[in-house]
Amino acid sequence: MKPKTITILYWITTVLFALAILFTCIPSEEGYAFITDILGYPGYFVNYIAVFKVLGVIGILIPGFPRVKEWAYAGLFFDMISAVYSFYATGTMTIETTGMLIFFGLGIASYVFYHKKLQAAKA
Protein backbone atom coordinates (compact mmCIF):
# COMPACT_ATOMS: atom_id res chain seq x y z
CA MET A 1 0.00 0.00 0.00
CA LYS A 2 1.27 3.48 -0.79
CA PRO A 3 2.20 5.75 2.12
CA LYS A 4 -0.34 8.35 0.99
CA THR A 5 -3.13 5.74 0.98
CA ILE A 6 -2.10 4.55 4.45
CA THR A 7 -2.14 8.13 5.75
CA ILE A 8 -5.60 8.79 4.29
CA LEU A 9 -7.00 5.55 5.73
CA TYR A 10 -5.39 6.30 9.08
CA TRP A 11 -6.99 9.74 9.32
CA ILE A 12 -10.40 8.53 8.14
CA THR A 13 -10.55 5.69 10.66
CA THR A 14 -9.06 7.79 13.45
CA VAL A 15 -11.50 10.67 12.99
CA LEU A 16 -14.46 8.25 12.84
CA PHE A 17 -13.19 6.46 15.95
CA ALA A 18 -12.70 9.79 17.74
CA LEU A 19 -16.22 10.93 16.84
CA ALA A 20 -17.68 7.63 18.01
CA ILE A 21 -15.92 7.97 21.36
CA LEU A 22 -16.90 11.62 21.73
CA PHE A 23 -20.50 10.66 20.98
CA THR A 24 -20.47 8.53 24.15
CA CYS A 25 -19.07 11.27 26.39
CA ILE A 26 -22.30 13.11 27.11
CA PRO A 27 -25.19 10.72 27.66
CA SER A 28 -28.82 11.73 27.40
CA GLU A 29 -30.97 11.76 30.53
CA GLU A 30 -32.02 8.18 29.73
CA GLY A 31 -28.39 7.19 29.19
CA TYR A 32 -27.33 8.78 32.47
CA ALA A 33 -30.13 6.97 34.31
CA PHE A 34 -29.13 3.71 32.61
CA ILE A 35 -25.48 4.10 33.63
CA THR A 36 -26.28 4.96 37.24
CA ASP A 37 -29.41 2.86 37.89
CA ILE A 38 -29.00 -0.23 35.73
CA LEU A 39 -25.22 -0.54 35.42
CA GLY A 40 -24.75 0.71 38.99
CA TYR A 41 -22.03 3.32 38.47
CA PRO A 42 -22.04 6.41 40.71
CA GLY A 43 -23.10 9.69 39.12
CA TYR A 44 -19.68 11.31 39.44
CA PHE A 45 -18.16 8.46 37.41
CA VAL A 46 -20.06 9.54 34.30
CA ASN A 47 -18.33 12.93 34.31
CA TYR A 48 -14.99 11.43 35.31
CA ILE A 49 -14.90 8.95 32.44
CA ALA A 50 -16.13 11.58 29.97
CA VAL A 51 -13.16 13.81 30.77
CA PHE A 52 -10.72 10.95 30.21
CA LYS A 53 -12.43 9.97 26.96
CA VAL A 54 -11.97 13.54 25.68
CA LEU A 55 -8.31 13.47 26.75
CA GLY A 56 -7.88 10.11 24.98
CA VAL A 57 -9.42 11.47 21.81
CA ILE A 58 -7.09 14.47 21.95
CA GLY A 59 -4.19 12.05 22.46
CA ILE A 60 -4.95 10.04 19.34
CA LEU A 61 -5.69 13.09 17.17
CA ILE A 62 -2.60 15.18 17.92
CA PRO A 63 0.21 14.26 15.53
CA GLY A 64 3.47 13.14 17.10
CA PHE A 65 3.79 12.08 20.75
CA PRO A 66 3.85 8.32 20.04
CA ARG A 67 3.93 7.32 23.71
CA VAL A 68 0.90 9.47 24.53
CA LYS A 69 -0.89 8.00 21.52
CA GLU A 70 -0.21 4.43 22.68
CA TRP A 71 -1.53 5.21 26.17
CA ALA A 72 -4.58 6.95 24.70
CA TYR A 73 -5.42 3.94 22.53
CA ALA A 74 -4.96 1.64 25.53
CA GLY A 75 -7.20 3.76 27.74
CA LEU A 76 -9.95 3.99 25.12
CA PHE A 77 -9.86 0.24 24.55
CA PHE A 78 -9.99 -0.40 28.31
CA ASP A 79 -13.05 1.85 28.43
CA MET A 80 -14.76 -0.03 25.60
CA ILE A 81 -13.93 -3.44 27.06
CA SER A 82 -15.24 -2.31 30.45
CA ALA A 83 -18.47 -1.06 28.84
CA VAL A 84 -19.03 -4.40 27.11
CA TYR A 85 -18.35 -6.27 30.34
CA SER A 86 -20.75 -3.99 32.26
CA PHE A 87 -23.51 -4.74 29.76
CA TYR A 88 -22.74 -8.45 29.96
CA ALA A 89 -22.53 -8.57 33.76
CA THR A 90 -25.86 -6.80 34.23
CA GLY A 91 -27.62 -8.88 31.58
CA THR A 92 -28.37 -5.86 29.41
CA MET A 93 -26.41 -7.03 26.36
CA THR A 94 -28.84 -6.94 23.45
CA ILE A 95 -28.72 -6.68 19.68
CA GLU A 96 -28.80 -2.88 20.04
CA THR A 97 -25.78 -2.81 22.33
CA THR A 98 -23.73 -4.99 20.00
CA GLY A 99 -23.43 -1.88 17.82
CA MET A 100 -20.49 -1.09 20.09
CA LEU A 101 -18.54 -3.59 18.00
CA ILE A 102 -18.36 -0.90 15.32
CA PHE A 103 -16.36 1.19 17.79
CA PHE A 104 -13.94 -1.70 18.28
CA GLY A 105 -13.56 -2.10 14.52
CA LEU A 106 -12.84 1.59 14.01
CA GLY A 107 -10.38 1.60 16.91
CA ILE A 108 -8.54 -1.45 15.67
CA ALA A 109 -8.37 -0.09 12.12
CA SER A 110 -7.10 3.26 13.40
CA TYR A 111 -4.43 1.57 15.52
CA VAL A 112 -3.30 -0.73 12.70
CA PHE A 113 -3.06 2.14 10.22
CA TYR A 114 -1.20 4.22 12.81
CA HIS A 115 1.51 1.57 12.99
CA LYS A 116 1.56 1.11 9.21
CA LYS A 117 1.98 4.87 8.89
CA LEU A 118 4.93 4.75 11.29
CA GLN A 119 6.53 1.92 9.34
CA ALA A 120 6.01 3.74 6.04
CA ALA A 121 7.66 6.85 7.50
CA LYS A 122 10.72 4.82 8.55
CA ALA A 123 11.11 3.29 5.09
Higher-confidence position of 115 and 64: 115
Write down the pLDDT at residue 99: 80
Residue 100: phi, psi to the nearest 5? Answer: -60, -20
Tell me the mean pLDDT in the region 75-79: 96
Mean pLDDT of the chain: 92
Q: Give CA–CA dist 7/120, Å, rounded.
A: 9
Q: Give CA–CA dist 72/39, Å, rounded.
A: 24
